[in-house]
Chains A and B, each alone.
Chain A
Amino acid sequence: MADVSKEELLHIAKLADLNIKEDELDNYLSNLQDILNFANIVNNANTEGLEETIGENDKYNVFRKDEVKIFEDNKALLQNAKEQERNMFKIPKVIN
């Protein structure tokens, strides 16, 4: 039985940069517990001596020349930003 506390859920949500409203908390908690209980099945599998699969194929590192390529369409890159100034993304002040 996966035992996740409300405090733990709120901590995880904070790590993931998500707010959970008070009235949603119970629902998220019971969903998370249900899914984790199901996911616990993996612990029944006999994986003794088995390596972990990291990524889907055998190619770990793929190298290419480090070449500068100019992306011409600056405007297209910036068009999705809600705030911009002088060709830059604008964010709220970070240092007071």
Chain B
Amino acid sequence: MDITDLTVHELMKKMSNKELSSEEVIKAYIDRIDEKEKDVKAFVTTLCDEALNTAREIDKKKNNGEKLSNLAGIPIGIKDNICTKGIKTTCSSKMLEDFISPYDATVVEKLNNENLIDLGKLNMDEFAMGASTEYSYFKKTSNPWNLNTVPGGSSGGSAAAVAANLVPWALGSDTGGSIRQPAAFCGVVGLKPTYGLVSRYGLVAFASSLDQIGPITKDVEDAAILLNIIAGHDEKDTTSYDIPKKDYTKALKNDVKGLKIGIPKEYFGEGINKEVKKKLEESIEIYKKLGAEVEEFSLDIADYALATYYIIACAEASSNLGRFDGIRYGHRTENYTNLRELFRNSRSEGFGPEVKRRIILGTYVLSSGYYDAYYKKAQQVRTLVKKEFDKAFEKYDILLTPTSPNVAFEIGTKSNNPLEMYLADICTVSVNIAGLPGISIPCGVNSDNMPIGMQLIGNKFEEEKILNVAYTFEQEYKFREKYKPNFSKK
């Protein structure tokens, strides 16, 4: 038995009937990290020794009959923009290279309450700005399905680590597709919850009206389990909703009979790769066979949504990243004669080119003379996008699209062309613009054995529906039994 290939729900069973101890699980992961991390480069910080000590303590407590959570002693990986007390949180930026958070993010507190063990902090595009993890200041993460390709981004470290069995599951964050797109590229499951379902307290802010933390997992059941842990109102995040707690695992019914699935035809038009389109069409046939009612309709907002996204996200980023001045935390220049120079030189040395590009774009669209043409207009288009989705959800339970128009691309092929990189987000951003939940699940591989992702979009707070629809497909298609990453270098 390969322990690291087990899902979390499988681990839970084996640990509760004492087939496996936490120490055995953590040791298996440490061996796996020793073997594969040099190829995948998913971690910014590994916490192997600390994890092993914690595992031994947890085993001891369990053996002494202490009542702990069913998840106690199971490891997890955390994207490096989620604050962990006493452990570096770098955002994969030179700016925060040495930053040690004085507090835990609310989601991290929740993981700690379950006695989950942090195996390390995972690589990402600097400040979550990117779609390939190539904009990390520290290293380029590789896709385990082909080491010469990107894992997607910005949560590329999280998705690659789950796909490579370096962690059983991970937390990511999603501002325009940063959980779903890397999940699709790496053949794993990625869920972006409804805006407001999960507290953002302790998530380093990129675009506050779009950011959400969510699970990246091996299968849908694990995503439901992790969502159970992290969802919930938090008085430290005023945008988090106070709604009754749900058990998302109960939604997994393996049944879509009579369910109405809408297919927005614009997402299957020009620009989508042929093999991706074919796999999606086959998946639609599977849903029909399983008894769902499928209908094509028009949702002509993808281009508007992408443009709107880059205006709003960059505007919010330019404001959010204003806090990095080299005084209280973050990089401080050695080259200054006055306060203004200290600010400017610290920021110019600490931020990478993509972050600077977005701050400049954001400052531009907010500056006088351009505010109305870009920012105000984008905020109106945001309303339009929401209304279009509202209309769609009057007719359909779920919308189905590709997660990305393409499979993972080769490292270095898009990093010098920012606009082309932005277009990789075309299928995912509208979900953030409208604040909806979306999940990406693998629905096959192309002729090069590269995974293809299917996105299921639900109405606000209808995570149960998208989880069930995803689960039903997964049980029928059995992706994990058919395909595995092979760490090739093609």
Contact = CB atoms under 8 A, between A and B. Distances in A.
A86 interface: no
Nearest to B208: A55
A53 interface: yes
B307 A56 contact: no
A81 interface: yes
B102 A35 contact: no
Interface in B323-349: 325-330, 332, 336-339, 342-345, 347-348
Contact of A80 (B235, B330, B435): B330
Contacts of A82: 326, 332
Interface residues of A, number: 51
Nearest to B380: A47
B419 A38 contact: yes
A53 to B, nearest CB: 4
Nearest to A61: B238
A32 B329 contact: no
Interface string A38-52: 111111111100111
Interface in A44-96: 44-47, 50-57, 59, 62, 64, 71, 73, 76-77, 79-83, 89, 91-92, 94
B98 interface: yes
A30 B245 CA distance: 49
Contacts of B329: 80-81
A44 B307 CA distance: 11
Interface residues of B, number: 70
Contacts of B359: 16, 18
Given A41-B303, A42-B311, A80-B98, A16 B381 contact: no
Contacts of A18: 344, 347-348, 351, 356, 359-360
Interface in B129-164: none
Interface of B: 85-86, 98-100, 102-103, 195-196, 209-210, 235, 238-239, 241, 303-304, 306-308, 310-311, 318, 322, 325-330, 332, 336-339, 342-345, 347-348, 351, 353, 356-357, 359-365, 367, 373-374, 376-384, 386-387, 418-419, 422, 435
29 contacts: A12-B367, A16-B359, A16-B362, A18-B344, A18-B359, A24-B353, A28-B360, A31-B419, A32-B357, A32-B360, A35-B418, A36-B361, A41-B303, A42-B307, A45-B304, A45-B377, A47-B380, A50-B380, A52-B376, A53-B379, A53-B383, A55-B209, A56-B209, A76-B100, A76-B102, A80-B100, A81-B329, A89-B327, A91-B342
Given A42-B304, A43-B373, 17 more contacts: A18-B360, A28-B356, A31-B357, A31-B418, A34-B418, A35-B419, A36-B361, A39-B311, A50-B384, A53-B382, A54-B379, A56-B435, A57-B195, A79-B102, A80-B329, A82-B332, A92-B337
CB-based closest 10 A-B pairs: A80-B329, A76-B102, A52-B379, A47-B380, A62-B238, A53-B382, A82-B332, A19-B348, A56-B435, A16-B363
